[in-house]
């Protein structure tokens, strides 16, 4: 899990790649379609796509001579699982912090 999780988070760390993922959430697209909203070259977009594909987040389809890219939802499984685990972890920690702070306030009030 760690290797795929590391690759997914590394790929998603870049704002251009996140924007590409958001665009692909609307449906598959060609490289030129994906490059259109950015002020970077098509080869630079292709490099971003390679990172996303290597991370297992997207895949390349085949439609005649076209090679449209599309999301690969299973690529986010490990990242989603990690985020869900952390989301469950933090509320418990905040509840403990609240309880601790409440005891500190009570102790301070009693000492005054």
- What average pLDDT score do residues 4-23 get? 94
Q: What is the pLDDT of residues 37-94, one digit of tens each?
A: 999 998 999 999 999 999 999 999 887 788 899 999 888 888 888 888 877 777 666 6
Gyration radius from the chain CA atoms? 22
Residue pair 70/53 in contact by the 8 Å Cβ criterion = no
Confidence tier at 108 by pLDDT (50, 70, 90): low
As given in the structure block, the two tokens for residue 68 are 């449209």
For tokens 């899990």, the residue is: 1
CB atoms within 10 A of CB 85: 10
CA atoms of 56 and 73, how far apart (whole Å): 9
Q: How far is CA 112 from CA 75, 105, 108, in A?
A: 57, 11, 6
Going along the chain from its start, the domains and CATH numbers come out as: 2-111 (1.10.10.10)
What per-residue confidence (pLDDT) applies to 112? 59
């Amino acid at each position: 899990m760690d290797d795929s999780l590391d690759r997914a988070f590394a790929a998603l760390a870049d704002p251009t790649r996140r924007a590409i993922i958001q665009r692909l959430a609307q449906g598959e697209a060609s490289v030129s379609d994906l490059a259109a909203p950015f002020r970077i070259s098509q080869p630079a977009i292709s490099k971003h796509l390679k990172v996303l594909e290597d991370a297992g987040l997207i895949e390349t389809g085949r439609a005649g001579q076209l090679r449209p890219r599309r999301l690969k939802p299973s690529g986010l499984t490990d990242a989603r699982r990690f985020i869900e685990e952390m989301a469950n972890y933090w509320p418990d920690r905040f509840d403990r912090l609240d309880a601790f702070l409440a005891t500190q306030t009570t102790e301070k009030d009693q000492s005054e």
